[in-house]
Amino acid sequence: MKQVTVLAPAKLNLSLDVVGLLPNGYHDLDMVMQTITLYERLTLRRSPELSLRLPGSWVPVNEKNTAIKAATAFFNYTGIAGGADMEIVKKVPVRAGMAGGSADAAGVLVGLNALYGAHLSMSELCALGAKIGADVPFALMGGTCRVQGVGDFIKALPPCPQCWFVVVMPSVGVSTPEAFARYDRMGSPVHPDCAAQEAAIRDGDLYNLCAAAGNALEHCSGAVETPHIKEVLNAHGAITSLMTGSGAAVFGVFEDEAKARAARTALREEYRQVYLARPDKGGARVLPYRPDRDRKPAPRPQPDRDPREPGKNKPRR
């Protein structure tokens, strides 16, 4: 195998609570997380060197990039003497709380595992991913999960009840460290019931799922456009609306597709990055090989010889 194509989905926090501080100083979190049908698309090719291209993106390409970190971790762990030419077409907004960087890292780990036939287990991939970022293990598993601690305790749940998400990226992103620093100073009046939300998911109850939704970081995120976006989403029929992660993206949950599309249309008049998505049942995965997509273009056929030349271009019997 010389090339693989990987889809790595974005995530939303259906709920996020801060339940304390851990001995290492990190915040102890309780969350319900959901991958959605908005994807980073990665193409990985075997190469003696390690390189990365992000066409159309302003994200820096350096040793701090999560894709570079993931590739380095993979080769160090496996001992494989190789490299990869990596190209990522980024669709997930940056500084949005949607784990675009974690999706990139998960996509690289899954892609290199297939590209080099390393046969690493999901547990091994998650252990590598956890060293890169807290959301990477979830980005590898995907679907609907209860996630606790710093992202290291993941419990798979049944699929989210069918619904539509309208996701809006405000004009300004949010820094995760700054959001948590503000939480430490301000606290939050919002503490969602993640256990009730898990129960609603197990019951397939979209309305109780939404009733238990909430984000403890929303109040202190500093994202000033959040209330207005939520107001528009709710006015167009969202069952609930909230910020995801540490911000700044805001999403609404809709049972009705027509209402979701109307909300997207209205918000596109104000915001450039507005997405319509559905729940996704998985994490980063390699797409099936397709010759028309993955194979290099065939060489152009040479022009036929002059049919007037004797003995040339005669049909075979």
CA pair distance 213, 96, nearest whole angstrom:
18
* SS3 per-residue string spanning 140-167: HHCCEEEEEECCCEEEECCCCCCCEEEE
* Angle value at C-alpha 15, between 133 and 35, nearest 5 degrees: 55
Q: Residues 11, 90, 91, 230: which is the catalytic one? A: 11
Angle between helices 100-115 and 122-130 (to 10 degrees): 140
Is 30 tagged catalytic?
no
Is 131 tagged catalytic?
no
**b (16+ CB within 10 A) / e for 87-121:** bbebbbbebbbbbbbbbbbbbbbbbbbbbbebebe
Q: Residues 30, 104, 135, 280: which is the catalytic one? A: 135
Antiparallel, parallel or unpaired: β 214-215 and 144-149: unpaired
**3-state SS assignment for residue 302:** coil
Q: Which of 31, 35, 33 lies closest to 192, judged by CA? A: 31
**3-state SS assignment for residue 249:** coil
CA pair distance 114, 6, nearest whole angstrom:
10
- Catalytic residue numbers read 11, 135
